[in-house]
Amino acid sequence: MRVLVTGAAGFIGSSFIQRLLREKIDVIGVDNLNSYYDVKLKHARLDLFRQEPNYTNYELDISDTIKLQDLFEKHQPEIVVNLAAQAGVRYSIDNPSEYINSNIVGFSNIIECCKVNKVRHFVYASSSSVYGANTKLPFTTDQNTNHPVSLYAATKKSNELIAHVYSHLFGLPTTGLRFFTVYGPWGRPDMAYFKFTKAILEDETIDVYNNGLLSRDFTYIDDVVEGLFDVIKKAATPSIHWDPKSPNPSNSNAPWKLYNIGSSSPISLIKFIQTLEILLGKEAKKNFLEMQMGDVHDTFADIKSIENDFNFKPNVNFEVGMSRFLDWYKNFYKIIN
């Protein structure tokens, strides 16, 4: 099996590649190593596996149509997992072109290459952000997602729609995974758990939005990777129950499917901070602020669909997951208590 993974130097991408390589699967990794956050961290992730004999690395931007086409023609991947994207809800407010270029143009290039090269299964990262202005919890994949509240969310919703077109017109099996706040060792420095850890350890103030009245469905990286590993092996198929007069937004008469992948155990922002304080043995200095543009109040994943189809079950609770992250953080940044 040959698997092409974009976003190879990213948090989820690098963790997923290591899982594939443990199974002796041939992996082609693609990443543009942009400077949205610390490039040294991205290189450190790649160093974990770039010398593996079953791994081939490319520094390449997926918006580069010609180079991407050449790569597909050379390697003829059987499965493609698109984890490359310009991430971050708040960054999208001031830098919209970055999101259009990577998340729309780049995504379109990838899926077109999948079509041309007859890829068996195209799996891609969507996001819990697509639920936008919805407030009915938990979020289920049969809910309407037509009211995004950030450009980032809109690009992820666009990915789902583009994938459906390719599944419908060309029979390309596509599966979208709506990730819910993935965290853990080797994580992203722009995420709250990472930023808060750094600030608390350095006696800096943390910004607590909406006065702490928020919650997130934190999902540990190893649980996400296992779910993703199972999903790639089973290509999406047309739903025999799909009714065009009352269409389900998560499946289709085309080989197209959407799943939530979360812990289904949301944590309030206040409890999240308290957990950090306990694990670090240090109280946070808090700056309470109003709700920030682009944010949603709560996320909570209904995961029955992926449980039923893949026996997905998150195994790592938040306290254990954060403890593992903090151990990694202190080791990576050489922090001595």
Q: Which residues belong to the active site?
A: 152
- Cβ atoms 174, 256 nearer than 8 A: yes
DSSP states of 69-130: HHHHHHH--SEEEE------TTHHHH-HHHHIIIIIIIHHHHHHHHHHTT-SEEEEEEEGGG
- Cβ atoms 238, 254 nearer than 8 A: yes
Q: Which tokens go with 275? A: 């957990």
Amino acid at 240: I
Give the contacts of 212 (CB within 8 A, at least 6 positions apart). Answer: 268, 269, 270, 273, 288
Of 183, 269, 190, 180, nearest to 220 by C-alpha is 183
* Percentages of the chain per state (helix, strand, coil), in multiples of 5: 40, 15, 40
Of 98, 56, 64, 80, nearest to 6 by C-alpha is 80
- Cβ atoms 187, 325 nearer than 8 A: yes
Does the N-terminal peptide bond of residue 138 adopt cis geometry, omega within 30 degrees of 0? yes
- Cβ atoms 80, 114 nearer than 8 A: yes
